[in-house]
Amino acid sequence: MARIDGHSWTPGEARKQFRSGVTGPTAGLAPGHTQANLISVPADWAYDMLLFCQRNPKPCPVLDVTDAGSWSTPLAPDADLRTDLPRYRVWEHGELIDEPTDVVAHWRDDLVSFLLGCSFTFEWALSEAGVPMRHVEQGRNVPMYVTDRLCRTAGRLHGPMVVSMRPVPPEHLDTAISHSALMPAMHGGPVHSGDPAQLGIHDLGRPDFGDPVDVEPGDVPVFWACGVTPQAAVTASRPPFAITHAPGQMFITDARDEQYRVA
């Protein structure tokens, strides 16, 4: 997938581009600004989803929840959640039925939208601390994998945890762990580092979402809980309707990463 040359974009400029139809992964865009996962479900499913997030805070840290039908959020007051992401996924009964660049035609008045923290947010803190970001260097989407770890069930919602993976040189491992741990709203510290088989992942070269990333000699694969987890729950639990972002193609907010660092 072609890399967007948007490293100098403001969040508002990025959203304007996406609104006009530009697509692609958002890692590395609008530096210093918080990116978010999107999951919109009918109001009848909103309690289950909010409880699912509360019970699974590592993959699903909630940044904001809209009122039913609303497409706006205080995280970016001039944004329209129906148009301002690069690409969406539309789901019916757990099946992917469309991947449009806006969801105006799919919108419903009973949709409650959840914005969840994203690991792209702590990538800046890691980069500044000297940790290389291989997928950004290589111009690729981050690789994501469905694990064999089950989330805690909440009402009708259940499913496996999804993780993102970044290869980290061993001398940077402590820094990667400690700096991400200070951002619990962005998935916090990793859930695992080292052997992928411990998470039920058998081939790092074949991610379930995103792109495979070239690993440098000695790099340790480090796995963070991922905000694509609700999409795995949609697939497993089959709610009648849902809208999500496309993996790696996030909502860019006006919020600053720094405000989510706890110390």
Q: Contact positions toward a second copy, by CB under 8 A?
A: 46-47, 50-51, 54-55, 62, 65, 178, 181-182, 184, 188, 262-263
Nearer to a second copy, 138 or 178 (CB): 178
Cβ nearer to a second copy, comparing 52 with 120: 52
CB of 235 to a second copy, least distance (A): 23
Could you tell me where the DSSP H helices lie in 8-97? 11-19, 46-55
In angstroms, give the least distance from the CB of 47 to a second copy: 4
Tell me how far, at minimum, the Cβ of 24 lies from a second copy, in Å. 30
CB of 16 or CB of 261, closer to a second copy: 261
Select from 77, 66, 80, 63 the least CA-distant residue to 16: 80
Beta strand pairing call for 160-168 and 192-193: unpaired
Which residue's CB is nearer to a second copy, number 114 or number 145?
A: 114
Closest approach, Cβ 57 to a second copy, in A, equals 9
Q: How far, in Å, CA of 212 to CA of 176, rounded?
A: 20
- Min dist CB 74 to a second copy, Å, is 9
Closer residue to a second copy in complex, CB, 63/246 = 63
The smaller minimum CB distance to a second copy, of residues 50 and 76, is found at 50
**Angle, vertex CA 120, rays to CA 118 and CA 126, nearest 5:** 125
Count CA within 13 A, CB hemisphere, residue 108: 14
The pair phi, psi for residue 56, each rounded to 5°, is -130, 65
E-assigned strands of the chain? 33-42, 62-65, 88-92, 95-98, 111-117, 144-150, 160-168, 192-193, 220-225, 241-245, 251-256
Instruction: Give me the long-range contacts of 103-106 (CB less than 8 A, separation at least 24).
Output: 103/243, 106/243
Q: Which of 126, 110, 142 has the alpha carbon at shortest distance from 189?
A: 126
Q: How far is the CB of 145 from a second copy (least distance, A)?
A: 25
Nearest to 233 by CA among 154, 157, 152: 157
Name the helix (H) or strand (E) containing 30. Answer: none
Closest approach of a second copy to the CB of residue 9, in Å: 29
Residue of 198, 200, 190, 185 whose CA lies nearest to 261: 185
Which of 65, 220 has the CB closer to a second copy? 65
